[in-house]
């Protein structure tokens, strides 16, 4: 267990910049999202996660529009002419997060992959619990296939991408797509939540003091499921009885993350089922590091790996 005397978190193996951030938050008495409640947690998320990217590039401003019924807000980034599209699903525990909190990461990924990227503002819990967000993601996927060409998006070799809760939705959508005969180019799952029914040893190991706490994780899951079966494969892809026939996968975990073990387990199960899997565990990082570009170089390192992987898929 990665805790020192008295149960205090041992952050000695973290990158220095992440360790300093966590210590500063601890000294400031920053409240966690489960302590803040839904409304204040969303407001805090917008303030704390937006604006961490300082991107000086020549990308055109993104195009904002809605699709589907009920209307789903989307943002389209044009990063180049690669023959593929990324459908991006932001993280935030299915409760917080937005197009804005992940704007910098989405823009950077579009540029790194050299493609069109559609970021999706799916409905969030607790107002719209499972499977509303997943349904919105499917609507967006089907829209790209049927109508995306009108905005210059490739309807073939679509790559799903998401972080945390967004990666959970992406993994579930990949299962749906397979079952409905939709061929995907790939999926990029960044520290995904894959098992909402069980707590792996890493949840206890990093129960507090590492950005995502066990208490907050439980709060997110309770809001998202709202009484739904946590073992449903579309809530817990790790528990799906059949993982064969899925698209190529890039799966990334953070080594100081409560979700680390279930990410490892999902990569192992996908591999055992005969799928092509590229797995990376980022050393010295916590949950959420992908959107911390203003704090740690690891965020840009990860985006670079994601962009290169996507280009190879389309190669």
Classify strands 85-89 and 158-163 as parallel, antiparallel or unpaired: parallel
Q: Which residue shows structure tokens 């389309």?
A: 314
Q: What is the DSSP string of 31-96?
A: PPHHHH-HHHHHHHHHHHHTT-------PPPPEEEEETTTTEEEEEEE----S-EEEEE--STTTS
CA distances (Å), 21 to each of 2, 25, 192, 195, in order?
18, 6, 23, 28
Known active-site residue 164: yes
CA–CA gap between residue 101 and residue 301 (Å, rounded): 19
For 59, what's the count of Cα atoms within 13 Å in the CB-facing half-sphere? 26
CA atoms within 13 A on the CB side of 108: 23
Q: Which of 92, 247, 257 is nearest to 163 (CA)?
A: 92
Instruction: Indicate if 163 belongs to the active site.
Output: no
Residue 54, burial from CB neighbour count under 10 angstroms (0-12, 13-18, 19+): exposed
Per DSSP, helices labelled H in 63-183 are 103-113, 132-147, 165-179
Among 164, 200, 202, 213, the one annotated catalytic = 164
Q: Are strands 63-67 and 72-78 parallel, antiparallel or unpaired?
A: antiparallel
Exposure pattern of 120-145 as b/e (b: 16+ CB <10 Å)?
bbbbbbeebbbbbbbbbbbbbbbbbb
> Is-catalytic flag, 98?
no
Catalytic residue among 90, 102, 256, 287: 287
CA distances from 32 to 28, 127, 153, 217, 264 (A): 12, 20, 38, 10, 26
Active-site residues, by number, are 164, 257, 287
């Amino acid at each position: 267990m990665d805790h020192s005397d008295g149960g205090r978190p041992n952050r000695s193996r973290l990158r220095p910049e992440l360790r300093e951030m966590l210590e500063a938050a601890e000294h400031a008495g920053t409240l966690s999202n489960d302590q803040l409640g839904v409304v204040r947690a969303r407001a805090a998320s917008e303030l704390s996660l937006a604006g961490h990217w300082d991107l000086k590039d020549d990308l055109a401003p993104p195009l904002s529009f809605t699709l589907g019924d009920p209307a789903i807000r989307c943002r389209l980034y044009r990063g180049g002419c690669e023959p593929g599209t990324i459908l991006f699903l932001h993280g935030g525990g299915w409760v917080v997060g937005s197009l804005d909190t992940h704007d910098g990461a989405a823009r950077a990924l579009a540029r790194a992959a050299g493609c069109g990227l559609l970021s999706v503002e799916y409905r969030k819990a607790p107002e719209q619990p499972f499977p509303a967000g997943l349904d919105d993601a499917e609507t967006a996927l089907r829209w790209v296939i049927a109508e995306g060409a009108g905005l210059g998006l490739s309807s073939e070799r679509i790559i799903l991408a998401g972080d945390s809760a967004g990666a959970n939705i992406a993994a579930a959508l990949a299962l749906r797509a397979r079952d409905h005969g939709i061929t995907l180019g790939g999926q990029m799952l960044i520290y995904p939540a894959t098992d909402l029914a069980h707590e792996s040893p890493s949840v206890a190991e990093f129960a507090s003091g590492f950005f995502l706490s066990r208490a907050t994780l439980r709060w997110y899951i309770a809001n998202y499921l709202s009484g739904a079966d946590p073992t449903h494969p579309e809530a817990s892809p790790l528990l799906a009885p059949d993982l064969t026939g899925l698209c190529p996968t890039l799966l990334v975990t953070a080594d100081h993350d409560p979700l680390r073990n279930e990410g490892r387990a999902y990569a192992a199960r996908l591999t055992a089922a005969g799928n092509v899997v590229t797995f990376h565990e980022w050393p010295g990082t916590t949950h959420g590091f992908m959107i911390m570009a203003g704090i740690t170089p690891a965020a840009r390192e990860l985006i670079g790996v994601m962009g290169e992987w996507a280009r190879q898929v389309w190669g």
